[in-house]
Amino acid sequence: MSLSGRLVIVGAGLIGGSIAAGARERGYASYVVGVDADRSALEQGTGLALLDATGTPKDLGPDDLVVIATPTLAVPGVLAELAASGERFAGGATVTDVASVKSNVVEAAAGLPGGMPEGFVPGHPIAGSERSGIGAARADLFVGRRVILTPAESTEAMARERVRDLWESLGAEVSEMDVADHDRVLAMTSHLPHLLAFALVDTLGREPEHEAIFGLAAGGFRDFTRIASSDATMWADVFMANGAAVVDVLDRLLLDLGELRTLVQTGDRAALHEVLSRAKRLRDAHVPGAGEY
Amino acid sequence: MSLSGRLVIVGAGLIGGSIAAGARERGYASYVVGVDADRSALEQGTGLALLDATGTPKDLGPDDLVVIATPTLAVPGVLAELAASGERFAGGATVTDVASVKSNVVEAAAGLPGGMPEGFVPGHPIAGSERSGIGAARADLFVGRRVILTPAESTEAMARERVRDLWESLGAEVSEMDVADHDRVLAMTSHLPHLLAFALVDTLGREPEHEAIFGLAAGGFRDFTRIASSDATMWADVFMANGAAVVDVLDRLLLDLGELRTLVQTGDRAALHEVLSRAKRLRDAHVPGAGEY
């Protein structure tokens, strides 16, 4: 179902721009408003014909949908502004966000005057790119991707439906999860891999001859470290917002790595081979798209 | 320059098969012999028209080129056989290998009766795939890839030239390095990333609900763990052969990770942001092909 009101994108970056591009191209929204403190990002969005107007609309109403697409730690501030903008949260509009961590967002929403707004549906599209900025926006960024919503019991059914419609119109597959489960699983499949990739590149960068070292890297290294080219601001926010879960899964990995280190150091080929075979089997069997290269 | 004698491939797997395919397609060799204990791999190679004959040739001579394309730890045994096959090492043929670790191979060669054979040129094509087996062979596997040779001072100039010709005919870029430097750099850019990828998949695999967890993984995770789908036998060998260098660079990474862990746990966003930005800059600037996705 298409949106009768306005689609308001707060945060004119890769994700916000891609939502605007997809919603327009696929006929979900006919009028898109961009909000961002960075005027040049808004101008770029207007120039790319992604935005019809810019600046916070004064008269948000029940037909409008607001998507908060800022870095994770900026979401609570936007929620507070939307709560302060009128008697009803966001003028009665449906509001969602795209932050990679949900517990801090939900806590902030629950802490608003009147508690968790019934029109707020926390969300997370599991999609992205190591590229950033509205100039990298793509209408098909969410096609075939998973989007997780973490609504509260009190969340309005209509708001839930509307946010689900948005993502399905963009080609995504929508499901719902418990907030803590979401953050724990994402710490494992996304946040920890990013931390490892950043750490590896940083460790090698400390070598005096690191340029020559990187020059000998092949495709495996390039793929492994691709996520270390991600936006540093976004990721610093993620690690701040989901620190406890990230540290927890990092500690489990460090135990596992310590065992592997012992097997390598003591030359226990049989035990090492067993671990490597098990990991290969797991990945081949369970990682989506593992056979596509 | 093309080879007047036979190209003998010992080890009919992905790398050996791809050398055969490329050498044939690009006119470097007109007669390719495959040697492998696994008869079905040889039959597959013959069926794919990669091999003209199979089984160790009895009369290797100065015009022949032998490429040892077995897993790392099997190379010393093949070298010993080639040394035992006649008065002159491999009948005077040029011999090279493709093992990812060079110090154990060079030590084994130096320990042969008569010392390091003058016709042996240790080599390592920095190319591969998480796929394995001769069925995955590709004539273009080495196009644009680096190949590192680690010859000794005593290595014959003609043998060096011949091995260089082989790789250049396959489209690779050939350079020479010191053995220890090679193994240290490869521990950083290849062996450690593989260990991390195997470890991460294994750690997540220990979760009772690991199928659901892997199901929520996105493209970043898929790329990060791609190398965990690599051949377990090959990689157990690599970690055995290059254990000391791998443990050394792993320990440096663990120190770095420990610092990052502290920054995440204490919520030091500024310091964390600095590390992430530095890593992103390094990767964007120095990793070959970092801009190609």
How confident is the model over B10-42, as pLDDT tens digits? 999 999 999 999 999 999 999 999 999 999 999
B196 vs A196: CB contact, 8 Å cut-off? yes
What distance in Å separates residue A206's CA from the closest CA in chain B? 10
CA distance B178 to B186: 12
B204 vs A188: CB contact, 8 Å cut-off? yes
What distance in Å separates residue A63's CA from the closest CA in chain B? 32
Q: Is residue B293 pLDDT above 60, yes or no? A: no
Question: Which alpha helices (H) appear in B206-268, and where do they start and end?
Answer: 210-215, 219-225, 232-241, 243-266
Q: What confidence tier does B258 reach under pLDDT thresholds 50, 70, 90?
A: very high
B278 vs A192: CB contact, 8 Å cut-off? no
Contacts A221 to B, Cβ<8 Å: 189-190, 193, 287
B277 at A interface, C-beta within 8 A:
yes
Instruction: Look up residue A85 and give its two tokens.
Output: 């903008």
Tell me the average pLDDT across B59-85: 94
Contacts B228 to A, Cβ<8 Å: 279-280, 283
What distance in Å separates residue A60's CA from the closest CA in chain B? 34
Question: Which alpha helices (H) appear in A87-133, and where do they start and end?
Answer: 103-110
pLDDT at position A290 is 55
Which tens digit of pLDDT belongs to each residue from A54-72? 998 889 999 999 999 998 8
What distance in Å separates residue A117's CA from the closest CA in chain B? 27
A201 vs B279: CB contact, 8 Å cut-off? yes
A 10 A CB-CB count for B267 gives 11
Provide, rounded to the nearest whole percent, the portion of chain A with pLDDT above 70. Answer: 97
Contacts B226 to A, Cβ<8 Å: 220, 223-224, 290, 293
Nearest to B267 among A206, A243, A260 (CB): A243
CA distance A170 to A164: 10
Q: Is residue B275 pLDDT above 60, yes or no? A: yes
B224 vs A261: CB contact, 8 Å cut-off? no
What distance in Å separates residue B20's CA from the closest CA in chain A? 22
Q: What confidence tier does A292 reach under pLDDT thresholds 50, 70, 90?
A: very low
**Residue B206: CA atoms inside 13 Å, Cβ hemisphere, count?**
12
A288 vs B214: CB contact, 8 Å cut-off? yes
pLDDT at position A123 is 98
CA distance A280 to B228: 5
A 10 A CB-CB count for A152 gives 16
pLDDT at position B287 is 84
Q: What is the pTM of this model?
A: 0.88
- Which of B132, B209, B224 to probe the A interface (max A CBs under 10 A)? B224
Task: Give the residue on A whose Cα is nearest the Cα of B142.
Answer: A218
A253 vs B200: CB contact, 8 Å cut-off? yes
Q: What confidence tier does A246 reach under pLDDT thresholds 50, 70, 90?
A: very high
CA dihedral A177, A117, A39, A135 (to 10 degrees): 20
Contacts A211 to B, Cβ<8 Å: 286
Tell me the average pLDDT across B228-253: 95
- Window A:220-259, CB contacts with B under 8 Å: 220-233, 235-237, 239-240, 243, 246-247, 249-254, 256-257
Q: What confidence tier does A218 reach under pLDDT thresholds 50, 70, 90?
A: confident
Q: B96 pairs with which residues across the strands?
A: B67, B121
A271 at B interface, C-beta within 8 A:
no
pLDDT at position A293 is 38
Give how far the C-alpha of residue A287 lies from the chain's centroid of Cα atoms, to the nearest Å: 19
- Window B:181-210, CB contacts with A under 8 Å: 185-186, 188-190, 192-207, 210
pLDDT at position A1 is 78
CA distance A43 to A54: 9
- Window B:46-105, CB contacts with A under 8 Å: none
A30 at B interface, C-beta within 8 A:
no
What distance in Å separates residue A134's CA from the closest CA in chain B? 18
User: Residue A16: CB partners within 8 Å, gap ≥ 6?
Assistant: A9, A10, A34, A36, A67, A69, A98, A134, A137
Which tens digit of pLDDT belongs to each residue from A78-110? 999 999 977 789 999 999 999 999 999 999 999
Under 8 Å CB pairs connecting chains A and B tally to 293
ipTM, 2 dp: 0.88
